Amino acid sequence: MIIGVDTGGTFTDFVFLKDGRWHILKVPSTPEDPSEAILTGIKQIAPEGEVTILHGSTVATNTLLERKGAKTALVTNKGFEDVIEIQRQNRKRIYDLCYRKPSPLVPAELRFGVSGRISSKGEVLEDIDTSEVEALAQRIKDLGVESVAISLLFCFLFPEHEKRVEEILKKNIPNVFSSSSILPVFREYERTSTVVINAYVAPIMGKYLKKLSSGLGEKRVRIMQSNGGSISVQKASREAVRTILSGPAGGVVAAQRLGEITGYKNLITLDMGGTSTDVSLIKDGHVRLTTDYEIDGLPVGIQVIDIHTIGAGGGSIARIDEGGALKVGPESAGADPGPVCYGKGNKVTITDAHVYLKRIFPEFFLGGTMKIYPERIPSFLNPLAKEANMSPQEMAHGIITVANSNMEKAIRVVSVEKGHDPQDFSLLVFGGAAALHAAELARSMGIPKVIVPQNPGAFSAIGILLSDVVMDYSMTVMMYEPNPKEIEEKLTQLAHKASQDMRKEGFAEFKAFYYLSCRFKGQSYEIEIPYSENYKEVFKEAYKRLYGYCPEDKGVEVVNVILRAVGETHKPKFPEIPKGDKIPPKESLLGTFEGKKIYLRDKLLHRNIIDGPSIVVEYSSTTFVPEDYLLEVDRWGNLILRSKNGS
C-alpha cells in the first residue's frame, strides 16, 4: 500500500487507493509533534504489512516561521559577514515609516569571516588559511553552535575553498552545509540566505524524520519537495530547505495530473485549508517554477513551484480594527482552540460564518465523525456585529466577502500580474474550505468554470501520492549569445551530477528537462525558458508576453543553465464513476433547508446536474452552489460549476 500524507495547520490528511477508489482520513494535527498525528493515522489505515509513505511536511516551514531552528553560525569571507543583514535595498512597504527588514537568522556575534578569496573568473586570489579555520572551528564549538552555513564569494566557480572549510569544521560540529552544494549560483545574498535557512532548519528536520522513521518501523518514507517531486528521508534531512513548500506543492501536482486526463490545460489552483490559502497557475499543462521566492521575508533561491500564500483559511479570525474596518486573518485559530464552533475557541472565524449562514451542516462535518457546536457562535458573533453596527447575518456575510477579496488579490498576483487573463483559465479549488468560496470568486474574477475534484479536502495528499522523484540542478555560466554546443557542454556537466544522485535515489534511468535563465545584456534579472537551439527567439517571446514589448537591439545573455531530473514512479489513476442522467438519484438528495437543496456527493453520478442554490456535502469538504450557478458531474466525479447566464 502507498499512502500520501499531508500535514496541515488544522488536520493531517491521509490518502490511499483501495478497491479501485480513493479513501481519505483526516486526523487533528499535533503541532507540537507532527509525527504523533501521522503515526495515529497510519495505525488506523495500515497497522501491518508493506507500506510506502509519501509525506508532505510543514516542519521546515514552521521551524523558520516560528524562529525555532538550530543555533546557527555563518562562515564567509572577511569583510562580508553582514551580507545577510544588509540584504537588498528593496523596501517592501515604501509608505511604512516604521518598516524594518526581517532580522537575519544568524546574529552578528555568530557571523565569522575567514581569509581566502576567489575572483569573479574563478581564479584563486588568496588561499585558505587552514590553521585559521581550525581555530575558528574550536571557537564555534565552544559557543554551543549546532549548525554552520558556509558561503564564500564565487564558490559556484571554484567550490574547493568551501569544501576545505567544510571538512575542517565537520571535525567539531556535526551539521555543516556549504552553499556550493545547496545552491551553486551567483548572487551572494540569495545564495547565502538559502544555505543559512538550510543550516537553521536541517537539524530540526533531521530529528523529526528520525523519530518518524523510528515510529514507522520498516515502512518506507519519502518526503515531498517544494518543486513538486519527492526525495529520500536522507536527502530531506540534509537539504531541508527543499521542503519549505512541501505540502502546498502536492496540490499543484495533483491539479496538473487531473488536468492531463480531463483536458483542462489552463488552471488557476486555489487551496484553502484551515490556516492559509495557496494559489498557483498552470499554463498549457505546465506548472510554473520560480527561484524568486521568499518566506518570512527571506529569499530561498532553489527551484520551487510558484505558489502565492495568504493568511486566509477556515480558521482565520475576524476582528474590527482601530479604524472600524472588518479584517479577516492572517491570524488563525488553528487546530487548538480552533473556530468557535469546534467547542473551545472564543474568536469568530470564516468557518463560524459559514456554519452560521447554514452553508456547513454539523451532522455532515467530516462525515459526522467530528462534533461541532453551532449554538456557541451567536454569543461571540453578536458582539462583533454590534461593534460594527451590523446585524449578525450581515457580519457573517461580511466576513466571507472580506475573505473573498483577499483571495481575489492572490489570484491576480499569479495571473494578471504575470501577464495572464483569468478568463482564459478554469478555477480548480481544493482544501477543506475552498469549495464554499469558489463560485463567488469565479463570478467576481470572470473565470468561466470552477472544478471541485473528488476528496478536495485531501487533494494535496493525493498530489503527494502522485509525485515523481525530482532533482533540480543549476549552474551559473554568464555567457553572451553562446552557440548551442557551448550550452550543451555545460548541461552535460549537470547531467553527470544528476545521474549520480538519481542512482542514489534508486533510478538508473530518468527523464532530463533542460532550461536556461536568460536576460538582455545589461539587465539585472532573468526569465527562465525551456532550452532549444533557437533559445533567443523563445526568450524574446517570453519577454514580450511578460512586459508587453521586446527590445530588438539588445543581445541575449545566458545566466544559468538548469536541469530537472525526473524519476517516474508508479501512480494510481483517477477512477471514473458510474454514469447517470441529468436528474440526480433520489438517494443523493438529503433534503431542503432554508431554500437550499442538500446533496450527498458520494451518491452523485456522471452527467447529474444540480441547480443552485444548493449545498453538496462530503467527508472532507462542502461545496456551495449559489442561485445563479449550475453544477454538473463529470466522468471522474469532478463537480463542474458554471454560471447560468454563461458569463
Q: Is the pLDDT of residue 91 over 80?
A: no
Place 52 in a pLDDT band, splitting at 50, 70 and 90: confident
Residue 646 pLDDT: 67
Residue 566 pLDDT: 94
613: cis peptide before it, omega within 30°? yes
Q: Is the pLDDT of residue 334 over 80?
A: no
Give pLDDT tens digits for 547-598.
Answer: 889 998 899 999 999 999 999 988 888 889 999 999 999 999 999 988 889 9
Residues above pLDDT 70, as percent of the chain: 99
Domains of the chain (ranges plus CATH)?
Answer: 51-244 (no CATH), 469-567 (3.30.1490.100), 586-635 (no CATH)
The pLDDT mean for the chain works out to: 91
Give pLDDT tens digits for 505-540.
Answer: 889 999 999 999 999 999 988 999 999 999 999 999
CA distance 528 to 435: 33
* Radius of gyration of the chain, Cα coordinates, nearest whole angstrom: 26
Residue 155 pLDDT: 94
pTM over 0.95: no
Query: To 5 degrees, how large is the angle CA 523–CA 472–CA 532?
Result: 60
CA distance 450 to 112: 53
Residue 600 pLDDT: 95
| DSSP tally for the chain: helices H, then strands E | 16, 35
Residue 165 pLDDT: 97
Amino acid residing at 233: V
Place 262 in a pLDDT band, splitting at 50, 70 and 90: very high
Give pLDDT tens digits for 30-51.
Answer: 888 889 999 999 999 987 878 8
Residue 20 pLDDT: 67
Q: Is the pLDDT of residue 97 over 90?
A: no
| Mean of pLDDT values over 222-240 | 93
Q: Is the pLDDT of residue 644 over 90?
A: no
Closest to 230 (Cα-Cα) out of 210, 249, 202, 208: 249
Closest to 533 (Cα-Cα) out of 491, 563, 488, 573: 488
Choose between 185 and 247: higher pLDDT.
185
Residue 9 pLDDT: 67
Q: Is the pLDDT of residue 366 over 80?
A: no
| Mean of pLDDT values over 630-634 | 96
For residue 212, what is the enclosing H or E element? helix 188-216
Q: Answer for the pair 278, 248: CB distance below 8 angstroms, yes or no.
A: yes
Choose between 461 and 167: higher pLDDT.
167
Place 376 in a pLDDT band, splitting at 50, 70 and 90: very high
| Mean of pLDDT values over 609-633 | 93
Q: Is the pLDDT of residue 606 over 90?
A: yes
Q: Is the pLDDT of residue 177 over 80?
A: yes
DSSP, residue by residue, 451-520: EE-SSGGGHHHHHHHTPPEEEEEEEEEEEES--HHHHHHHHHHHHHHHHHHHHHTT-SS-EEEEEEEEEE
Q: Residue 266, Cα to own-chain centre: how many angstroms?
A: 19
Place 647 in a pLDDT band, splitting at 50, 70 and 90: low
CA distance 220 to 242: 20
- How big is the chain, counted in residues? 647
Most confident of 4-8, 290-294, 328-332, 537-541: 537-541
| Mean of pLDDT values over 331-355 | 88
CA distance 229 to 567: 9
Give pLDDT tens digits for 403-422.
Answer: 999 999 999 999 998 889 99
Residue 61 pLDDT: 84
Grid cell in block for residue 610 = 444540480
637 backbone dihedrals φ, ψ, rounded to 5°: 85, 5
